[in-house]
Amino acid sequence: MEVLDVIKDRFSPYEFTDKQLTENDLQTLFEAAGKAASAFNEQPWRFIYALRQDEEEFKTLHECLVDGNQGWTKNVAALVITVMSKTYAKNGNENTVAMHDLGLAVGNLTLQASAMGIHLHQMAGIIPQNAIDKLNIPEGFQPLTAIALGYYEGDSDVKEKKPVEEIAFKGKWK
């Protein structure tokens, strides 16, 4: 299968089956994430995760989500909180591209999940201070988003995307 085919078939469901993910599944996804490009090879991303079958850990991550996301995610197979380093390890300067680099890592994770038949739904709706307090996130790191993962068996819900002509301009903005 071509990478573009995997990308075209990807969508973010709100409903997942009861099928569990394994520790091995998650490690494969994080390996893909870890291969992403980053400024100075800094790799400013961190992922804190819990499988649904690990009830206490799952509950703790679940409590880091805003109310609107807690309802539909209570039975997903896994939850992930994404975290980024705010500074470069090599010199302590602000890492102004850490969010970009985290996005590249999550993109890799997303593609790997799609290739494995795993669906995910990314969320901006987290409570950062809950994540910092409950997940022992150290100073200098910032929780940014959450990801719900699992299997989906319903109809495809691929949303219409803008055509290339609306997002890429040769030479100058058109």
pLDDT in tens, the chain (174 residues): 688 887 878 878 889 999 999 999 999 999 999 999 999 999 999 999 999 999 999 999 999 999 999 999 999 999 999 999 999 999 999 999 999 999 999 999 999 999 999 999 999 999 999 999 999 999 999 999 999 999 998 777 778 889 889 989 999 998
| Within-domain flag for 63 | yes
In this predicted structure, what is the pLDDT of residue 62?
98
CA–CA separation, 77 and 23 (whole Å): 11
CA–CA separation, 75 and 90 (whole Å): 40
| Within-domain flag for 130 | yes
Task: Answer for the pair 46, 84: CB distance below 8 angstroms, yes or no.
Answer: yes
In this predicted structure, what is the pLDDT of residue 1?
61
| Within-domain flag for 118 | yes
Domain membership of residue 90 as a residue range: 21-153
State pTM to two decimals. 0.93
Task: Answer for the pair 28, 112: CB distance below 8 angstroms, yes or no.
Answer: yes
| Within-domain flag for 99 | yes
Looking at residue 28, the DSSP 8-state letter turns out to be: H
Sequence-distant (6+) residues with CB within 8 A of 112 are: 28, 29, 31, 32, 33
> Which 3 state secondary structure label does DSSP give 148?
strand
| Within-domain flag for 92 | yes
Q: Is the dihedral of CA 66, 43, 151, 136 positive or negative?
A: negative
Q: CATH number, domain at 71?
A: 3.40.109.10
Looking at residue 132, the DSSP 8-state letter turns out to be: H
Query: What's the residue count for the chain?
Result: 174
Q: Where are the beta strands (DSSP E) in the chain?
A: 45-51, 78-85, 119-123, 141-150
